[in-house]
Amino acid sequence: MPVSPRYRVTTQTTASRVSLVIALLLVVAAAAAPLFVSRGTVQDLFFILTMLVLAQFWNLLAGYAGLVSVGQQAFVGFGAYAMFAAVSLAGLDPVVAILVGGIAAVLLAIPTAFFVFRLEGAYFAIGTWVIAEVVRLVVAQWQTLGGGTGTSLPRSATRDMIGVEQLKDWLGLKSSAAGDVVTYWLALALAVATIAFIYRLLRSRRGLGLAAVRDDASAAGAVGVDGNRMKHLVYLVAAFGTGLCGALIYVQTARISPDAAFSVIDWTAYVIFIVVIGGIGTLEGPIIGVLVFFLLQNALADYGSWYLLVLGLIGIVVMLFAPRGIWGFISDRTGIELFPIRRRLVIDDDPQTPDTD
């Protein structure tokens, strides 16, 4: 006789099932967007999606693994430069070269992990910054890729990129606009894959171990979780994702320089503010944060450095008075979790199962 289990462990909630359906609809709508919106809007959406990817990986590092990095620009820049090298020197298709960028970022992360993991907490943060500076200074010596002043992707490379020709015929676009659509779809795919991957990771055994290490490293160690291993793993994964995203960003801009590609403001400061304002340590936080960031940027675009000043002040105020950010504020009041990772015990009401007592 089959015995139906009376207890189940689940992470799903009604809100999360509803949000999954809404998320799928949103992704479909986003994928169809280039058919309906202007080229400028496609570029804005590309910007939002790439910042979201960077924010999710930084959040994975800082919010889940307790690794505050101020040097993620090392992987953005290195991934982008590796992509440039693969296109300009090896003649690869830019879309394929993006993968090269991600792999190059991991190859960079292996030796740098060796250095930065010798430093703890706050010193880890500045250590990652030093590494980013070293990589920037070394890359600026690479004369073939323009040295300190930078270089552009060959026009032919972006024109002949995978998918551009077909899109030109299909949608009747110029090749530059078709290129924007290709990179936008890649950004959408990368953002969806990033969120799905991180959500899966957090719900897995490894994710449970990660949460245990974050909450109490010695207690986690006592039950056999190798905290150091987990942190290394997260560091390498974040480097890969950040490198891919960096390479993708620079396929779209098609022009690179060390100062831009390794900018601590563009690729780390903005990302930190997005995560902090949205809500650190949640998957929902960066999504909300990137939308707030985009609206603020548009509203304050004409005020130059006032914009960053205001962003910094908001970041400080949020960290001091609402350290769980906007999403934490919403979640605390409504109890809604769109990406629940908490394991809950569900007791099935099954009248057929007899009481054992």
Which residues is 9 bridged to in the sheet?
A: 345
Nearer to other proteins, 25 or 219 (CB): 219
Size of the site for other proteins (CB under 8 A): 41
| Binding letters toward other proteins, positions 21-60, x by CB under 8 A | ----------------------------------------
**CA 94 from chain center: how many Å?**
20
Residue 304 sits in the site that holds other proteins (CB under 8 A): yes
Out of 30, 308, 330, 336, the residue judged to bind other proteins by CB under 8 A = 308
Residue 259 sits in the site that holds other proteins (CB under 8 A): no
Out of 290, 311, 326, 341, the residue judged to bind other proteins by CB under 8 A = 311
Nearer to other proteins, 16 or 128 (CB): 128
Residues 251/158, Cβ–Cβ less than 8 Å: yes
* Sites for other proteins among residues 177-236 (CB under 8 A): none
Residues 187/198, Cβ–Cβ less than 8 Å: no
Nearer to other proteins, 164 or 239 (CB): 239
* Sites for other proteins among residues 93-152 (CB under 8 A): 115, 118-119, 121-123, 125-127, 129-130, 133-134, 137-138, 140-141
d(CA 44, CA 357): 64
Out of 309, 342, 346, 348, the residue judged to bind other proteins by CB under 8 A = 309
State the minimum distance, in angstroms, from the CB of residue 102 to other proteins: 25
Residue 299 sits in the site that holds other proteins (CB under 8 A): no
Report the amino acid identity of residue 189: A
Nearer to other proteins, 43 or 151 (CB): 151
State the minimum distance, in angstroms, from the CB of residue 115 to other proteins: 6
Which residues is 207 bridged to in the sheet?
A: none
Nearer to other proteins, 308 or 336 (CB): 308
Out of 144, 323, 332, 344, the residue judged to bind other proteins by CB under 8 A = 323
Residues 76/217, Cβ–Cβ less than 8 Å: no
Give me the residues that bind other proteins (CB under 8 A), please. Answer: 62, 66, 68, 70, 115, 118-119, 121-123, 125-127, 129-130, 133-134, 137-138, 140-141, 264-265, 269, 272-273, 276, 280, 304-306, 308-309, 311-313, 315-316, 319-320, 323
